[in-house]
Chain A
Amino acid sequence: MTNGSADATKILWDDPSIVAIRRDMLRFAQLQLRDAGAAEDMVQEALIAAMDSAKSFAGRSAFKTWMFGILRHKIVDHLRASSREICGTDLVEQADPQAELKDFDALFDQRGFWNPDDRPATWTDPDASFSQKQFWEIFDACLDHLPDQIARVYMMREFLDFETAEICRQLGITNGNCWVILHRARLGLRECLENNWFQGEAIQC
């Protein structure tokens, strides 16, 4: 909590910009946890933690980055604490390897080369997308669209920066399995972005 003596670093928690960050945090937590209640809890906890340690935020990093850092730690703690609830065998069974692999195979011909329609196109200046709001909406939608169990592994790896070994330990799956799931997530996300965002500029060769 900020008090009089901490005016220099005082943060106005009901400022519209904070409200907007809070909304983004909630969306992030929801993507991550796929559980609206848990997501709300995490954001609350992160906000409380941020308020408690507002003094330690001395403009070291952008405010939003700092807030998201706290949120990520909260989610990591939550996942570690509840790892026993996430059953690794569920993960593997639900994934139905046969069906998923078939899906996957459709991108390639019998010899394992790209089908012409699915061959990754050239994206011109993709980084320009970062400044476009619609891009992030589509990115969110593509993440949402991943099957839950694949998204969970992908989010743990890429958003929460878990090492693969820890993901495997927590979910009780093998390294190989983990790699296949991550590969599938990347393949799916790429496809989704290309179809829904970059498609207009596809250059077929």
Chain B
Amino acid sequence: MLNCKEVTRLMSEGYERKLTLGERLSLKMHTMMCIGCTNYGKHMDFLRKAVRRLREGGAGGER
């Protein structure tokens, strides 16, 4: 069973490489029971989106 520290590391690595089936299953199992890590995963997606906007100059004003 993964702990939160390992889960956050794996979530980050998921942006860099394809996680194995086993890794994805362990992530699922953990996040089903852990609100902190579920939120963390959402926050990572949010960060991605924010960065996309910033790099297209979207930070100022219009959507």
Residues of A within 8 A of B (CB): 20-21, 24-25, 28, 62, 64-65, 67-69, 72, 105, 107-108, 111-114, 119-123, 126-127, 129-131, 133, 136, 139, 158-159, 164, 175, 178-180, 182-183, 186-187, 189-190, 193-194, 205
Closest to B62 in A: A62
Bound form: Cα–Cα A90–B62 in Å? 40
Identify A130's interface contact among B15, B16, B50, CB under 8 A. Answer: B50
Q: Are B63 and A130 closer than 8 Å at their CB atoms?
A: yes
Q: How far is the CA of A139 from the CA of B47 in the complex (A)?
A: 10
Query: Nearest CB to that of B46 among chain A residues?
Result: A126
A131 to B17, CA, bound (A): 32
Q: Report the minimal beta-carbon distance from A5 to chain B, rounded to whole angstroms.
A: 29
For this complex, 9 residue pairs linking A to B, each with C-beta atoms less than 8 Å apart, are A64-B60, A65-B56, A112-B5, A120-B36, A120-B37, A122-B35, A139-B54, A187-B8, A190-B44
Which residue on chain A has the smallest CB distance to residue B50? A139
**B13 x A136 contact (CB < 8 A):** no
Q: Assess the B6–A68 pair: CB atoms within 8 A.
A: no
Partner of B55, one of A68, A121, A131, A182: A68
**Nearest chain A CB to B24's CB is how many angstroms away?**
17
Q: Shortest distance in angstroms between A66's beta carbon and chain B's nearest beta carbon?
A: 9
B20 at interface, CB cutoff 8 A: no
Q: Verify B40–A28 contact, CB threshold 8 A.
A: no
For the complex, what is the distance from the CA of A106 to the CA of B12, rounded to whole Å?
18
Interface of B is mostly: helix
| CB <8 Å contact, B4 and A114 | yes
- Check B44–A24 contact: CB distance below 8 A: no
How distant is B37 from chain A, measured CB to nearest CB, in Å?
8
Whether B50 and A123, one on each chain, are in contact in the complex, defined by CB atoms closer than 8 angstroms, is no
In the bound assembly, the distance between CA atoms of A91 and B32 in angstroms comes to 37
Cβ contact of B56, chosen from A64, A105, A108, A190, cutoff 8 A = A64
* A21 lies within 8 A of B57 (CB): yes
* B16 and A121 form a contact (CB under 8 A): no
- In whole angstroms, how far apart are the Cα atoms of A68 and B54 in the complex? 9
Q: B60 and A119: CB pair below 8 A?
A: no
B-chain residues with CB within 8 Å of residue A121 when the two chains form the complex:
39
Q: Which residues from A are CB-within-8-Å of B5?
A: 105, 107-108, 112-113
Kindly provide the distance from the CB of A105 to the nearest chain B CB, expressed in whole angstroms: 8
